[in-house]
């Protein structure tokens, strides 16, 4: 198979971790007889520095023409000035919207080898296996916003809007995923307060009742969900929710396995190229030191092969290689618990070797 991938290394540790994922993809291509063409483009703070735009047209064009996009991370203190004309995050929101990536899949699974890295007790987290499906192109992230004068200074607002169609398509995608897993779907909302949530509840229930009656379905309020995630994470299979709730809950959930450094994510939806990235950010504090954990990005590359090219075997080969490396005791600093650790490039070496 031939495929074109766009790599967007981005800022901070982004270039270091994407470089390791690229090596792994090259090794997979060789092992399975594929040709992966990978070209790098600017996005985020580096793109602001180069041309004043966090998502240059040239980058977006290249993404549209590719099979899939692998992103490192964007942002950093250099571009954090609240009065700046634009921000790296604007590029990320724009690419999600432009590519129609309405569903963000964030699997949260504990690794038996790393259970002691979890801030929670082993008996609570062991065996956790949740797939979060976060709505990604709607809600308060993209609603009307503004400021106006107020007696006390200013007043600011952001509007949360959802349509029937936006809810249906993401719930459907989550329900399909649940069918392929343990058959359980949880929808998270704040229907006791928000009108947008009441529409979510109504539409989601209708989709499940008419199209997925085989699923075990329940709804949970977002505040209760925040609590259940750390008290009984094993109770959940697929969790679907709106954009902002999903943003917050997936950061919370990413701590269950002990490190953000192992959590990949896939943004898909429109049938065009998907966007694959680690959940963690650009970690500017450790950028350029060759200590970042490349595994989340490597696992995102596995998701890219699975969801964009249906290369299930190849995806599993990468995941198995990561498993072997962790089982062999290889650790980067974030998961070493103060013990000996490998550099970013050494971890990449180990995964490439484990693929062979
Ligand atoms: C994420 C990030 C982004 C978001 C930021 C960087 C805009 O936190 O992917 O979860 O809020 O969606
Ligand atoms: Mn987030």
- Identify whether 112 is a catalytic site residue: no
Q: Is the CB of 252 under 6 A from ligand 1?
A: no
Q: Whose CA is nearest to atom 12 of ligand 1?
A: 247
- Which member of 22, 141, 217, 307 is catalytic? 141
Both tokens assigned to 207: 């989709």
Distance from Cα 61 to the centre of ligand 1, integer Å? 22
Q: Is the CB of 247 under 6 A from ligand 1?
A: yes
* Helix boundaries (H) for the chain: 14-32, 45-51, 57-64, 88-98, 122-125, 164-179, 195-211, 222-231, 243-254, 295-309, 312-327, 344-355
- Which member of 4, 129, 235, 247 is catalytic? 247
Tens of pLDDT along the chain (356 residues) come to 999 999 999 999 999 999 999 999 999 999 999 999 999 999 999 999 999 999 999 999 999 999 999 999 999 999 999 899 999 999 999 999 999 999 999 999 998 888 888 899 999 999 999 999 999 999 999 999 999 999 999 999 999 999 999 999 999 999 999 999 999 999 999 999 999 999 999 999 999 999 999 999 999 999 999 999 999 999 999 999 999 999 999 999 999 988 788 999 999 998 999 999 999 999 999 999 999 999 999 999 999 999 999 999 999 999 999 999 999 999 999 999 889 999 999 999 999 999 98
Distance from Cα 129 to the centre of ligand 2, integer Å? 19
Output the pTM of the full model: 0.95
pLDDT tens, residue by residue, 108-166: 999 888 888 889 999 999 999 999 999 999 999 999 999 999 999 999 999 999 999 99
């Amino acid at each position: 198979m031939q495929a074109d991938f766009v790599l967007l290394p981005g800022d901070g540790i982004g270039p270091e971790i994407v470089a390791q994922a690229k090596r792994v993809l090259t090794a997979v291509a060789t092992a399975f007889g594929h040709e992966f063409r990978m070209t790098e483009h600017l996005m985020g703070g580096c793109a602001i520095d180069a041309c004043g735009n966090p998502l240059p047209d040239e980058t977006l064009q290249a993404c549209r023409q590719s099979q899939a996009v692998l992103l490192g991370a964007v942002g950093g203190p250099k571009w954090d000035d609240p009065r700046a004309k634009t921000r790296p995050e604007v590029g990320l929101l724009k690419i999600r919207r432009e590519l129609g990536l309405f569903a963000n899949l964030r699997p949260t699974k504990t690794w038996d080898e790393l259970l002691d890295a979890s801030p929670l007790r082993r008996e609570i987290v062991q065996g956790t296996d949740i797939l979060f499906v976060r709505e990604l192109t709607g809600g308060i992230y993209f609603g009307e916003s503004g400021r106006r004068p107020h007696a006390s200074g200013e007043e600011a607002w952001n509007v949360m809007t959802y349509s029937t169609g936006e809810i249906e398509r993401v719930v459907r995608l989550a329900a399909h995923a649940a069918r392929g897993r343990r058959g359980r779907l949880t929808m998270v909302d704040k229907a006791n307060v928000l009108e947008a949530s009441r529409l979510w509840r109504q539409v989601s229930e209708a989709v499940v009742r008419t199209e997925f009656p085989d699923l075990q379905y329940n709804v949970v309020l977002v505040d209760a969900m925040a609590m259940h995630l750390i008290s009984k994470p094993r109770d959940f299979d697929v969790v679907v929710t709106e954009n902002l709730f999903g943003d917050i809950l997936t950061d919370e959930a990413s701590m269950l396995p002990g490190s953000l450094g192992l959590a990949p994510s896939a943004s898909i939806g429109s049938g065009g190229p998907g966007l694959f990235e680690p959940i963690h950010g650009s970690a500017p504090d450790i950028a350029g030191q060759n200590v970042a954990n490349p595994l989340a990005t490597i696992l995102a590359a596995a998701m890219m092969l699975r969801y964009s090219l249906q290369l299930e075997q190849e995806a599993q080969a990468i995941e198995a290689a990561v498993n072997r490396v962790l089982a062999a005791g290889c650790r980067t600093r974030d998961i070493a618990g103060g013990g000996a650790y490998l550099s970013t490039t050494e971890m990449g070496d180990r995964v490439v070797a484990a693929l062979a």
